[in-house]
Structure 1
Amino acid sequence: MPSIRKSLLQFVFSGAYMKRWNDKLRPVELMEVDKQAHKMIVAWLLLQLNTRGMPAEERLRLGAEVVEGCLFDYFYRLVITDIKPPVFYRIKENEAHYSELTEWVAEELEHIVRPLDEDFWQRLLTYIRRREKNTLADRILTAAHLYASGWEFNLIKPLNTFDDEMPDIDGSFQTRLTAMADLAGVPELIGGSSNALGRFANLCGQLRFQKRWSQTPRIPETSVIGHMFIVACYAYFFSIAVGACPARRLNNFFCGLFHDLPEVLTRDIISPVKRSVKQLPELIRQYEEQEMQERVFSLLDKAGYGDVASRLGYFLGLATGSEFDETVREPAPDGAPAGTASVVRKVTFDELQSSCNIDALDPKDGRLVKACDTLAAFIEAHTSVRNGVTSSHLQEAIARLRGEYRRVTLGPLHVGALFADFD
């Protein structure tokens, strides 16, 4: 039976400690978890564009390959944290050396990942042991990686003109990403903010600069975009634990990945402030929707990416008023406006677990993703306190969140027990 353990949750969170470009002068700290989030946002864009017209079953299969490929790469990277990329690429060129390194990584990961799900573990082994990665999913992930890493490089480039490695690194990023221009969306990403797709990818990257709990010292600090990725990972694990269908797993991952996207326009507003005035949460929600419509959805729609905007709106819960609503998509009823292919309907978690847990209904969780959001916030606070940096805000948050979820269950998953594991 699938089991989510504290060790897996902490392992995923450990990317918040892992610094990138650590041998270069940096204007801000660049963390691995932030890069993974930016990479997966771009991978999602490429996934949407390169599966247009593809049968639903094939789209789901490819989506699962992209999401799990990202998770497996991330796990691998967390284990070999001290090996610089150029050294790793040299190791990978030698089949024997790469195989030896990979088997060691598998041994390190087994006790952390395998309890989650045996099939998931076997897919991880198959993926990391495969040296050649040339499938469409692999190429989408590679292009997304090059974009996100190149975006970081452009931040540090002006500060490192004295570094003789910089021209080679710069040329490598440009050459390798240009070589993938046959993928739909890559030319637009290369074009940067001159087009709607590049502008959206760049806007999302700016969530790296927004720190959560901004008025409360913490170690480690976490950004909004890093938090989004952690929530996405937890949502995928939770989905496996409750037996979610493939479409529901993917929707929950991407709902987690995008759930705080409006904060790039409104900034992170802590819960006590949101609760200080009765009408404030609704006012914030209205403002977020207005800003997203003007600065994201309308621009994507006008540029021919209406399907991308629509999908993003589904993850953000535009049809129901909250990204934390359980929803399905059903064929439009008779009498619906022309061009309406489907309608979004709110359901309950119990319905998702039974009659609605099928790919054709495009199910998406709400309470489950919210629980992952809360758990990630709890771990942020708890970890800082364990690291010796505490405050009344962090202590109060730990007690409040643990109390709120003490008796919460999601089907076979006892969420309260996960909070209780963090003593």
Structure 2
Amino acid sequence: MISRDLLETLFSAFSIERWNDHPRPVRLVEMDKQAHKGIIAFLVARSDGGLSEEDLPELAEALVFEFLQRVVLTDLKPPVFYRLMESAAPELNRWVLDQWERPLEELSPELFRRFGAYLEGWGSRTPLRAVTGAANYLATSWEHQLIHPLAAGLFGAAETRRELRARLEEHMTVPLVRHTLLRLAEAPSSRTCDFVDLVAQLRFQKRWTRIPRIPETSVLGHMFFVALLGYLLSLELGLSPRRRAWNFFAGLFHDLPEVLTRDVISPVKKVAGLEGLLKGLERDLMGEKVYPLLPHQVAADLRFFTEEEFVDRARSPQGEVRPCPEEEEGDRREGEGWTVVDGRLLDWGDKFAAYLEAALSVRYGVKPELLTEACESLREGYGGRPVRGRSFAYLFDAFR
């Protein structure tokens, strides 16, 4: 069972500020960093020399586990964290497991067991951990490049820069790391670096732009939170590890076109005929601006994730995509080796994430009328809507 405590702890990453001992041109939070890391990890995994498709369930699980670890260790500065992990990893990981034992045991004892096993393997050199490690430092490096002009004169700034470069150089076997180091040296590099930069800009786009809220949330962080919800709902519904992973990554990319169109508010989208025009424009712009930056397989994956993001669909091994209007059709195609994404599940997760953004702000005392009306509308529209025949109305009720 997905508990209120679990969701509140996950959501707290929207309030966890990064680099808070440095001057920052914008607010940098943990949820956004984890989203950027997850997107980079998928990009590395699906590029030449990355992971096989059969490894994606483990990659999704690893990204979830590393987020769970980080969200309860946020008070540790990265240099302190890495030194402690080198000298006292068992003790630190035992403490992490103690924080998560009750909510994860309530959700899935098997997931909690696997979380413990993953933490025990911390420091091991495997292809999976090479991908997540490289993605972590690439996302951190992007943040550092943003703040460095303001922080360059501070005591310790040069050492921080050297340490981060050294961490990146530990992952030189990853092509994207080599291209990033070339770019940092102002040398010609891969266009894939442009994609990494482009998607990071989604952290600058605030959701609910016309309505004050606490905490503010970005489109980038929202994408990762929907990915987490997609994973948790898939787990609760007993879906296969492979399907959980594809739902996670589909959630992670579901709002990617907004990097080109911005976050269009729902009332505008509902104007007669406008939603279809916006979708067509998104497809055109993605084809012009985004897909040319990516390897062919990654571009195909992003089309699958974004063009009908809230429709149940399946993709054959040959790349044919078909909608699955009936749940049984998706289950059947999965059994035949197709890749299945549960778009309606992600739609529910997207709206529940919006509800949490509104409801928690109301609880914190920032509750303009439009926000309270949005809470009621989302609860009435989705609270009673089942997901694959299962009601999750109790989650809406938990935050009333």
Q: TM bucket by the smaller chain?
A: over 0.9
1:70 lines up with 2:63 in the alignment: yes
2:236 equivalent in structure 1 = 241
8 Å CA contact retained: 2:180, 2:189: no
Partner of 2:373: 396
Which residue is equivalent to 1:6? 4
Displacement of 1:361 in angstroms is 1.1
84, 88, 93: which is aligned to 1:91? 84
CA distance in 2, matches of 1:247, 1:65: 9
Greater mean deviation of Cα atoms: 103-112 or 34-43? 103-112
List gaps (5 residues or longer) in structure 2: none
Match of 1:365 among 342, 346, 354: 342
Q: How does 1:298-313 map to 2 (within 5 A)?
A: 298-300=292-294, 305-313=295-303
The 5 Å alignment of 1:327-406 reads 327-330=313-316, 341-351=318-328, 354-358=331-335, 360-406=337-383
Partner of 2:136: 145
Pick closer, same or farther for the CA change 1:383–1:376 going to 2, 3 Å: same
Q: Assess if the C-alpha contact under 8 Å between 1:353 and 1:411 holds in 2.
A: no
Report the TM-score when normalising by structure 1: 0.89
Q: Across the two proteins, how many residue pairs are aligned to each other?
A: 396
CA distance in 2 between partners of 1:269 and 1:122 (Å): 41
Q: Retained in 1: the 8 A contact 2:35–2:223? A: yes
Match of 1:37 in 2: 35
The residue that corresponds to 1:81 in the other structure is 74
Match of 1:263 in 2: 258
Deviation at 1:139, TM superposition (A): 0.7
Do 1:191 and 1:198's aligned partners in 2 also have CA atoms closer than 8 Å?
Answer: no
Amino acid across the alignment from 2:346: V
Aligned to 2:288, which of 279, 287, 294? 294
Secondary structure of the residue aligned to 1:345 is strand
Shift of 1:194: 4.2
2:125 to 134, 148, 154: 134
CA distance in structure 2 between the aligned counterparts of 1:211 and 1:80, rounded to whole angstroms:
26
For 2:231 and 2:352, how far apart are their aligned partners in 1?
14
Residues 190-242 of structure 1 show CA distances to partners (whole Å, capped at 9, x for unaligned) of: 34484321111110000011100011111100000000000001001111111
* Residue 172 of structure 1, CA deviation: 1.7
1:196 aligns with 2:191: yes
**How far does residue 63 in structure 1 lie from its aligned partner after superposition?**
1.5
Q: CA deviation at 1:109?
A: 0.6
Q: 1:334 — aligned with what?
A: none
Structure 1 runs not aligned, ≥5 long: 332-340
In structure 1, the residue corresponding to 2:322 is in which secondary structure?
strand
What amino acid sits opposite 1:89 in the alignment? Answer: Y
Q: Pairwise mapping of residues 271-282 of structure 1 onto structure 2 (< 5 A)?
A: 271-275=266-270, 277-282=271-276
Deviation of 1:110 (Å): 0.8
Report the counterpart of residue 325 of structure 1 in structure 2: 311
Residue 59 of structure 1 deviates from its aligned partner by 2.7
Q: Which amino acid aligns with 2:140?
A: S
The residue aligned with 2:391 is 414
Q: Deviations over 1:41-83 (max 9, x none)?
A: 000000001567x7xxx532x2222221121111111112212
Offset of residue 326 of structure 1: 0.8
> Per-residue displacement from partner, 1:368-393 (whole Å, max 9, x unpaired)?
01111011100000011111111111
Question: Residues 209-220 of structure 1 correspond to what in structure 2 (within 5 A)?
Answer: 209-220=204-215
Q: d(CA) in 2 for partners of 1:342 and 1:148?
A: 30
TM-score for both structures, normalised by structure 2: 0.94
Over 3 Å counting, the alpha-carbon distance change for 1:382 and 1:352 in structure 2 is farther
Residue type of the partner of 1:212? R
Residue identity opposite 2:198 in structure 1: L
Alpha-carbon spacing, 1:278–1:113, altered in 2? closer, same or farther (3 Å) = same
Q: Residues 166 and 359 (structure 1 numbering): CA distance in 2 closer, same or farther, change over 3 Å?
A: farther
Identity level (%): 39
